[in-house]
Amino acid sequence: MTVVDPDTTAADTVASAADAEAARRRDPIARLPVSVRFALYAVVFVFVLTAAEQISGQSRLTAANTWASALKLTIPIALAALGGLWAERAGIVNIGLEGMMILGTFFGAWGCIQFGPWQGVLIGVLGGAVGGLVHAIAVVAFGVDHIVSGVAVNILAAGVTQFLNFDWFGSTNQSPRLPEVVGSVRVPGLHDLLGARLTGPSLLVWLAALVVLAVAAVRFLTPERVEPLRRRLSPVGSFARPAAVTVLGLLGLLVVVDLAPYLARQERFGISEFGRIVMGLTAEVSWIVVIGVVAFPLTTLILWHTKFGLRLRSVGEDPVAAESVGVNVYRMKVVATTVSGALAGLGGVSLVYLFANQYRAGQTNGRGYIGLAAMIFGNWRPGGTAVGAGLFGFTDTLSLLSGQATHALLLVVAIGAGVMVLRAIITGRWLSSLAIVAAGLAVYGWYLVTDELPNEIVVFLPHLTTLLVLTFASQRLRPPAADGQPYRRGQAG
């Protein structure tokens, strides 16, 4: 359900749809399934990083420890972004993500000190959920402007946590160190589950099986074939295609994890770099990271494959129409914003458990706002949001490396610009290709005339990335139609 502009004529609608379809035909990548498209983007990204390493002589861009750090730095941003997605899909703009993360950092640390690590995780999540509930009550029950309420939550959270920290621990800026945190786990490969390492013929057999499964998924798990099954087995049938895709994806992941050490030793262009990246992402992963990663497919399943998710998204598109078919709009908005706060609170807990091992004032450092930018970059979809959060986490990691390592990032941008030019030419966007060429040449010239990036730029790199992403992604965004709009029960459309 969407809000339709009464001034838009049928001819305009048909023309815009025709233009969109024509652009889709010109772009071969846009015609690919989403999962294949993301896999292709990953391959191109590894290629760009490898090329930059070969030219610059820097090996830190694809080092295993670099990507292990990037994953840790991504999780707080990703959870805040996912929380923002829940709220905005229900029509609530949640600027208060930063404050909800602050509540998660303090109450997670306090709960861990008082009761234990997993109890601390739960208490931190509840602390963020309370912040989300306060925001929901202000916006939904009292009609407070979304931005005003979110800013108030941020200010209130910062003040309350510092007051409580002083009252309970005798300090305004930090808590005692945590006695322990949740453990970590190594992501298993397929040989860990089967009890035998995949080498030689057995490896070929499993790769062949994966190819057969992939072809079967593409050929037989289309919506047209799944729909009769869904009707016969409803509501179980509605999960048939997502479940099959999930199982196939897990099998592929297990094989890739198993092959990563072998690939890392090959010393071949792109292959060894890919192996090192996979090893960094799967070796000794904290359970907080595991929960954060699982939250993304779980959100996709709930919001796009359940009746509850359909009702929640309908509230964000057209609350009047949703109310007319019996959806409790107020309840959906409150639930979505509370879940949003809980996810942001978990992001705050991850900052405490993965890095400082204690609560510190200013610990979030604007990551709630960066998470909001990642959600916008991802076009209010979980997959795109995860990619946006990963981009910010990666640049955040590079800001911690040496100046020469971050200097190679200029080469990454220049080579990436070349790839974008090729796509722009294929799709017929000549003006865009000229602008990208100019930007790429400027960045490459900067790389040639300097030896390392100034420290001021390195420190500001994550925030600079945020500004650039919002600038260049604004042309393709499609937010929920009723996002941020006031709503009162019974109002006319």
What pLDDT is stored for residue 344 in this prediction?
97
What pLDDT is stored for residue 110 in this prediction?
95
Q: How confident is the model at residue 453 (pLDDT cuts 50, 70, 90)?
A: confident
pLDDT tops 70 at residue 474:
no
Q: Count CB neighbours of 52 within 10 A.
A: 22
Ordered domains of the chain (ranges, CATH): 58-185+284-402+452-476 (1.10.3470), 190-282 (no CATH)
CA neighbor of 386 nearest in space, from 71, 158, 110:
71
pLDDT tops 60 at residue 201:
no
Ranges assigned E (strand) in 202-268: none
Helix axis angle, 240-264 to 201-220, nearest 10°: 150
Which two tokens mark 227?
């729909």
Cβ(104)–Cβ(127) below 8 Å? yes
State pLDDT tens for residues 74-96: 999 999 999 999 999 999 999 99
43-52, 66-75, 181-190: segment of lowest average pLDDT:
181-190
Q: Count CB neighbours of 113 within 10 A.
A: 19
The mean pLDDT of 259-267, rounded to a whole number, is 80
Q: 174 pairs with which residues across the strands?
A: 360
pLDDT tops 60 at residue 21:
no
Q: Which residue has the higher pLDDT, 434 or 81?
A: 81
CA neighbor of 368 nearest in space, from 61, 99, 8, 48:
99
Q: How confident is the model at residue 211 (pLDDT cuts 50, 70, 90)?
A: low
In angstroms, the Cα distances linking 310 to 136, 139, 218, 298 are 20, 22, 25, 15
What pLDDT is stored for residue 375 in this prediction?
92
Q: Count CB neighbours of 35 within 10 A.
A: 16
In angstroms, the Cα distances linking 409 to 66, 113, 272 are 13, 40, 20
Output the average pLDDT for the chain.
81
Please spell the DSSP secondary structure of 310-328, one letter per residue: HHHHHHHH-HHHHHHTT--
Please spell the DSSP secondary structure of 341-394, one letter per residue: HHHHHHHHHHHIIIIISS-BTT-STTHHHHHHHHHHHTTT-HHHHHHHHHHHHH
Which two tokens mark 207?
């790769």
42-56, 279-293, 390-404: segment of lowest average pLDDT:
390-404
Q: How confident is the model at residue 39 (pLDDT cuts 50, 70, 90)?
A: confident
The four Cα atoms 11, 12, 17, 21 give a dihedral, to 10 degrees, of 90
State pLDDT tens for residues 355-385: 989 999 889 988 999 999 899 988 899 988 9
Q: pTM, whole model, 2 decimals?
A: 0.85
What pLDDT is stored for residue 223 in this prediction?
54
Q: How confident is the model at residue 37 (pLDDT cuts 50, 70, 90)?
A: confident
> Using CA atoms, how far apart are residues 222 and 313, in angstroms rounded to an integer?
23
> Using CA atoms, how far apart are residues 281 and 292, in angstroms rounded to an integer?
13
Please spell the DSSP secondary structure of 391-422, one letter per residue: HHHHHHHHTTS-HHHHHHHHHHHHHHHHHHHH
Burial class (CB in 10 A: 0-12, 13-18, 19+), 107: buried
> Using CA atoms, how far apart are residues 146 and 129, in angstroms rounded to an integer?
17
Burial class (CB in 10 A: 0-12, 13-18, 19+), 338: buried
Which two tokens mark 183?
């453990």
Which two tokens mark 37?
């498209």
